[in-house]
Every structure is written in C-alpha cells, then in structure tokens.
C-alpha cells in the first residue's frame, strides 16, 4: 500500500503491525497519534527506532511489515521503545509455500524496450566496462600482480582511451587447503568467472608455481581455454625467475593486449543483457521503507525489459525466505532456497555463531533490532517479480529475471560471487553510509535518508530519503533505473570516480586454512 510520510512524526507500515517507526527524534512524554492509535511516549525515541503501538505480552510475537520481526523478552507497554532490550529472535514456523504468489511478468513490447551503450564481446555477452585483468592464483603472487598493474597507472593508458584500466585481482587464499573439493572448486569458479567476465577484455593468470591452486588445475577444471583450445596467458614466478622478471614479462604481455582491448567501441545493446547485483550494507530502519523498495521497483522494471536482478546475502534473507518461496517459479526453485537456509543454520552452528549475530552494531544504532527485521527490509530489493532461479556462490547466472545467489552477508565477499556469476553492474543501498565500489562492475550507491545523503554527497549517487519527504516511491525507483542505464553506458558512479573498487575483490574462504 502507498504510505504518506509528510508531516508525520511516526508511521505504521502495515495494519497488523505492533510498532510504528519514528521519522524524527521524539522526546519522552510526547503525545502521539499514529493512525487510529493515541499514546504517550515512555522514552526518548531516535529517528528510525520502533515505538510500541499496543501492549505485547512476554514471549508474544512482534510484527513490522505485517510480518514477525521477533518476540518480546518481557512485557511491552504502548509508547515504549522496542529494541534489543525487549525484543529477540527465536525459531518459528514460517509456513513455507511454493509458487503460490506468482506475479505474471508484463514484459514490454520489443519496440518499447530500452537499450544501453555497452561492449559486445566475441562470445555475444554484454559488458559495461572494459578492463584488462591480472588474476592471482594465490596470495603469493599478489604483490607481483600489483607491481605489473602499477606500471599502467596515469598517463600510461592515455593512448588507449577505451580501456578503463589494468585491474589487479588479488586475494588472501589459494594455498593451505585441500587440493580438491568444495572449497578449492569455489575459488576456481570465482577466478574463472572474473576471467570470463564481459567487463574484462583480456586477462593474465599469475601464480607462484607451488601453490595448492595450481593454474593448470584451474584452467582444466573450469575449461578456461582459448577459443582454439590453447592455454590462456599464464605467468608463474618460479618458472619465469622471480618477481622482477615476472613483472617485466607481465608488462610486455599487457602492452601487447592493449591495442586489441582499445579497439572495442560502445554500441546500443538491449537492457535484457544487463545483469544487476543487488546489495545493501550499513542498513538502517529506513532501508526497508525507502531505498530497498525503490530499488525493487527498478528491478521490476529491468525484468520487464528482459534483464536480470541478482538478490544475495542469504543470512540477510533469513526470516523473509517464506515470502520468496511463494514467488518461486517452481517448487524445485523454492526448495533450493530453503536448502541454502538450512545449510546456513548448520554452518553457523558448527562455527559457534547464530544467524542473529547479524544485525551489526551500526544496523542496531540505525533502528534494526533482529535479523528477521533486517531481512524483511533487505528482501524488498528483489522487487515483486517471480523468483526464477537460485544459484550457488559464483555459479554462472543463466536465467533471466529476478534470481538469488547464495552468498554471505559481508558485502565484498557477496559482490565478488555475484560479479563472478556475471553481474555487470551493482546497485548498493545504505542507511549508515557504506563507501563501496567494485571493479570491474561499477557500483551505484543509494542512500536511505536525506541527512546521510547530504553528509556523504561525494559517495552517494541517489537519495531515496526524499520518499520520507513525500516523493513517490515510483519516482525514486525510476531515478535508480535511469541511473543504472547511464552508468552501464559509461557514466562514472561516485565510487568509481574516486577510484574505489580494487580492494573489494574477496573470494569466499569457506573451509579450514591448514
């Protein structure tokens, strides 16, 4: 339902909700009317935090968005502040249903579908950027990769205006693990995903030589061969003769690649070939009211054009997964999501965690109390279209529409998996002010509230906080959609303009380090 935020000190988001959300700081003792409810505040309430509208008994569920966000740990009276001191998670029956709430996709006619200015690759895929990548197989070759890339900074690329840069992709793993199995397969799948990425014009694999993640195993295991069946460009320090010799050899190889990489030109490509990674970080209580549903509107519009939105961060869907299974295109797809949820329950238990270790302190300061509350807001990024597929981490994304990739909630690790899967653009919502970029996929930042947007203007691309000031959600969703097209076509996002994005490449280390 459409909610009017103008001139209201607090709002109730759904008729079944037990809480209202403060839109401004409210003082103890203030008389307040929210809908048909009148009360007096029993405590000072910070903007974004929850106010009890009704009395709730100890152990009873508390609802926001019309959904359970937790259970009262003690009796809660009307007008009280509802937060970590009186609200906590416990397991409850989510009543999983499959494919019961499918919304037909109202695809736009071909004549009305938009395009963006992208790079058409030889394999037919569409890129939004044009990088040469240096990919380390192991941390032991990371410095060498960076030394090579540094030789192509600044004026070194002036003669190649169509090349966005020489990108060092380094990480902290690649050895001290099993030589086969789930962990190393995931790393190899991730590295191969970047090597094949449509935003990458050419790549070189750089290894030490004695690492567990042998380059030949990487190439053969992921079929990372050239078109003619030959090996891709490879450098190993122990074969070439150390760091200095490898750097010089690498510089020669990159120099030879630059003319071909520079020859590509942007051309009109259909939005059906845009794959957008959906991220949120540093969330606050307004994330699920402004930025996330506005991004969801933009994703719905992208899907109507035949494109793809990639929801992820599985631990931050926990407590909202039952809403997503109802939108699954089949029982099989819905059950795949629940299988991932069960895996996370086991994974966190084995490591002495509970999934409600998330929200983080910054999330809680912004008004989010439990993982259920955070997840219900985070899921709004995925819009309302059917759930077409569920993917493992860094798996190639082949289905169009709204899909989910299983990733951790930690943004760099999550985005690494999404981009490895083929996402060529990222839209990242934030309420606290996450400063995030990610090469080779440009990242658009969407602020949930106006004060933070104005305070961090050099980092935020879109202000969704204007929704709280009366701007229709659809209008902000349209702004995000248009910004997606502009950035995909070459306009720099604010993080990109500052050069942010090389340090965020972070493959998921899931197993033991030996």
What are the phi and psi torsion angles at 393 (to 5°)?
Answer: -55, 125
Quick count: other Cβ atoms within 10 Å of Cβ 514? Answer: 8
CA angle, 337 then 72 then 320, to 5°: 15
User: What region does 53 belong to: left with phi over 0, alpha with psi -120 to 50, or beta?
Assistant: alpha
**Residue 3 confidence (pLDDT):** 59
Which three-class secondary structure state does DSSP give residue 198? coil
Token readout for 51 is 């106010």
Distance (Å, rounded) from C-alpha 212 to C-alpha 214? Answer: 6
The closest of 126, 476, 158 to 272, measured between CA atoms, is 126
Kindly state the helix (H) or strand (E) to which residue 201 belongs, with its residue range: strand 200-207
Residue labelled with tokens 């970029």:
437
Q: Is 10-88 in CATH node 3.90.550.10?
A: no
Kindly state the helix (H) or strand (E) to which residue 10 belongs, with its residue range: strand 10-11
Burial of 36 (0-12, 13-18, 19+ CB in 10 A): exposed
Distance (Å, rounded) from C-alpha 46 to C-alpha 261? Answer: 52
Contact predicate 433/281, CB 8 Å? no
Which residues make Cβ contacts (< 8 Å) with residue 334, sequence separation at least 6?
96, 98, 99, 324, 325, 326, 328, 387
DSSP E strands in 65-130: the ranges are 67-72, 81-82, 87-88, 115-120, 126-127
Which three-class secondary structure state does DSSP give residue 337? helix
What are the phi and psi torsion angles at 256 (to 5°)?
Answer: -70, -25
**Residue 1 confidence (pLDDT):** 44
- From residue 309, alpha-carbon distances to 108, 192, 202 in Å are 17, 21, 26
What is the value of pTM for the model shown? 0.96
Distance (Å, rounded) from C-alpha 80 to C-alpha 84? Answer: 12
Token readout for 425 is 């653009």
Domain ranges for the chain:
10-88, 116-262, 273-497
Contact predicate 253/204, CB 8 Å? yes
Distance (Å, rounded) from C-alpha 430 to C-alpha 432? Answer: 6
- From residue 36, alpha-carbon distances to 11, 17, 182, 404, 492 in Å are 11, 13, 55, 39, 47
The closest of 224, 233, 219, 86 to 145, measured between CA atoms, is 233
The closest of 296, 297, 292, 293 to 280, measured between CA atoms, is 292
The closest of 428, 323, 274, 313 to 100, measured between CA atoms, is 323
Quick count: other Cβ atoms within 10 Å of Cβ 367? Answer: 24
Which residues make Cβ contacts (< 8 Å) with residue 94, sequence separation at least 6?
319, 321, 322
Kindly state the helix (H) or strand (E) to which residue 481 belongs, with its residue range: helix 473-488
**Residue 7 confidence (pLDDT):** 67
| Strands 462-463 and 443-447, bridge-based pairing | parallel
DSSP string computed for 351-370: TT--GGGPSPHHHHHTT--S
The closest of 197, 141, 193, 189 to 168, measured between CA atoms, is 141
Q: Going residue by residue through the chain, which has 514 residues, state the pLDDT in tens, using 9 for 90 and above.
A: 455 566 689 999 999 999 999 999 999 999 999 989 999 999 999 999 999 999 999 999 999 999 999 999 999 999 999 999 999 999 999 999 999 999 999 999 999 999 999 999 999 999 999 999 999 999 999 999 999 999 999 899 999 999 999 999 999 999 999 999 999 999 999 999 999 999 999 999 999 999 999 999 999 999 999 989 999 999 999 999 999 999 999 999 999 999 999 999 999 999 999 999 999 999 999 999 999 999 999 999 999 999 999 999 999 999 999 999 999 999 999 999 999 999 999 999 999 888 886 788 999 999 999 999 999 999 999 999 999 999 999 999 999 999 999 999 999 999 999 999 999 999 999 999 999 999 999 999 999 999 999 999 999 999 999 999 999 999 999 999 999 999 999 999 999 999 999 999 999 999 888 8
The closest of 475, 292, 483 to 382, measured between CA atoms, is 292
Token readout for 432 is 């606290």
**Residue 389 confidence (pLDDT):** 98
The closest of 273, 197, 275, 261 to 439, measured between CA atoms, is 197
**Residue 360 confidence (pLDDT):** 86
CATH topology of domain 116-262: Rossmann fold (3.40.50)
User: What region does 327 belong to: left with phi over 0, alpha with psi -120 to 50, or beta?
Assistant: alpha
What are the phi and psi torsion angles at 81 (to 5°)?
Answer: -75, 130
Which residues make Cβ contacts (< 8 Å) with residue 154, sequence separation at least 6?
none
Token readout for 83 is 């937060």
């Amino acid at each position: 339902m459409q909610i009017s935020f103008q001139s209201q000190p607090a709002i109730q988001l759904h008729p079944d909700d037990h809480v209202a959300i403060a839109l401004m700081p409210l003082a103890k003792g203030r008389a307040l009317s929210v809908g048909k409810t009148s009360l007096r505040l029993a405590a000072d309430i910070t903007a974004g935090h929850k106010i009890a509208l009704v009395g709730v008994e100890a152990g009873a569920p508390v609802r926001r968005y019309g959904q359970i966000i937790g259970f009262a740990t003690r009796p809660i009276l009307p007008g009280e502040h509802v937060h970590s001191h009186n609200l906590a998670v416990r397991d409850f029956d989510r009543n999983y249903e499959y494919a019961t709430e499918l919304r037909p996709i109202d695809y736009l006619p071909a004549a009305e579908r938009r395009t963006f200015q992208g790079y058409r690759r030889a394999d037919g895929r569409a890129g939004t950027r044009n990088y040469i990548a240096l990919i380390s197989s192991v941390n032991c070759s990371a410095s060498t990769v960076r030394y090579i890339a540094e030789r192509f900074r600044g004026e070194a690329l002036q003669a190649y205006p169509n090349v966005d840069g020489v990108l060092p992709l380094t990480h902290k793993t690649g050895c001290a693990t099993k030589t086969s199995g789930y962990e190393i397969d995931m790393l190899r799948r991730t590295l191969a995903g970047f090597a094949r990425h449509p935003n990458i014009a050419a790549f070189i694999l750089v290894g030490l030589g004695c690492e567990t993640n042998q380059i030949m195993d990487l190439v053969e295991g992921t079929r990372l061969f050239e078109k003619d069946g030959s090996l891709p460009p490879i450098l190993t320090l122990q074969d070439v003769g150390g760091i200095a010799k490898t750097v010089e050899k690498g510089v020669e190889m990159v120099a030879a690649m630059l003319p071909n990489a520079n020859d590509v030109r942007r051309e009109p490509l259909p939005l059906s070939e845009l794959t957008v990674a959906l991220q949120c970080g540093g969330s606050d209580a307004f994330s699920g009211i402004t930025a996330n549903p506005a991004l969801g509107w933009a994703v719905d519009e992208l899907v109507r054009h035949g494109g793809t939105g990639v929801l992820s961060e599985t631990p931050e869907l926990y407590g909202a997964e039952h809403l997503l299974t109802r939108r699954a295109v089949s029982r099989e797809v819905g059950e795949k999501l629940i299988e991932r949820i069960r895996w996370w329950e086991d994974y966190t238990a084995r490591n002495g965690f509970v999934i409600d270790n998330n929200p983080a302190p910054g999330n809680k300061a912004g008004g989010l109390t439990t993982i259920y509350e955070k997840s219900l807001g985070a899921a709004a990024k995925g819009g309302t279209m059917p759930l077409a597929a569920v993917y493992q981490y860094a798996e190639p994304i082949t289905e169009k529409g709204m899909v989910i990739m299983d990733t951790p909630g930690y943004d760099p690790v999550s985005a690494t998996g999404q981009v490895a899967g083929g996402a060529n653009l990222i839209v990242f919502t934030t309420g606290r002010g996450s400063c995030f970029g990610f090469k080779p996929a440009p990242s658009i930042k969407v602020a949930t509230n106006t004060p933070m947007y104005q305070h961090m203007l050099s980092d935020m691309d879109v202000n969704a906080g204007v929704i709280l000031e009366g701007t229709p959600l659809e209008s902000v969703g349209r702004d995000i959609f248009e910004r997606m097209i502009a950035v995909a076509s070459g306009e720099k996002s604010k993080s990109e303009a500052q050069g942010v994005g090389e340090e965020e490449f972070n493959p998921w280390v899931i197993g033991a380090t030996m």
